[in-house]
Amino acid sequence: MQTGLRKKQRRREVLAGLTIILAAFSYITALLLDFNFVSPYTTLQEDLSYLANHLRNQEISIWAWLATSLITFLAIPPYTMLFHNRLRALHYVNAVWLLGASIGFLLMGIAGLELHRELADGSLSGLEQADEQEWIKLLGLYQDELFYRRVGSSFVGTFAFGMGLTRFKIKRFPIIAMILLMISGPTMIFFNWYDPEHLIRTAAMAGILVGISIFSVRIINKGLEENHKGTKENPKGTEEIGTG
């Protein structure tokens, strides 16, 4: 029976590792496909006219963020099950941050779809002849999209910091991942609101991706190795990630 429980736990580790790393890479993919049409060197009319001519790019960006929202949400159950018998509350707190990121990206996608619909319903000539109030309405929709993007990304940074704290509860948590997550998480939160285009924010996102990848690959490998070994027991009873 003990062997069966260990195998079940190893399967959980593999599933959790795959879903977490998939959520991380979906976030990076959405950032790469992100369509930013506002420039400080152009007028509002020029910005929105440019967007009206590139609606396909904006639509791809929207669906990339919606997919990220869904994948992030689906990563929550495997993550909480992974630490169910090892952590008391930290994994539930981190699950809340993941949920916040998922909701933020969902609301961002909804705002983006509304903006896309407003622009798709009107012709380019109609946009050029629109009054200033209509331009401001369209810009407001874009600002809502930008706000929810920052909210979702801030929750990602908070989750990264919370995951780094796992090292203090589970000693086998990779120390390099802990350092990257605990530094990069708060850094990305700060630059999300201070200067989203800053190079340091990009470096922080890379740090979070690397930290999560190290953690995920570690537990995937651990789960696959244990399943391959079958009934082999741990002679020293050392602490393992996610072991109940």
Per-residue model confidence as pLDDT tens digits over 201-211? 889 999 999 99
Distance CA 25, CA 118 (A): 30
Q: Which of 12-21, 45-54, 118-127, 222-231 has the highest mean pLDDT?
A: 12-21
Per-residue model confidence as pLDDT tens digits over 51-99? 666 778 888 889 999 999 999 999 999 888 888 777 788 889 999 999 9
Global confidence as pTM: 0.79
Which of these, 139, 166, 138, 152, lies nearest to 108 by C-alpha position? 152
Per-residue model confidence as pLDDT tens digits over 141-174? 878 888 998 999 999 999 999 989 988 877 778 8
Distance CA 228, CA 242 (A): 18
Per-residue model confidence as pLDDT tens digits over 173-205? 888 989 999 999 999 999 989 888 889 988 999
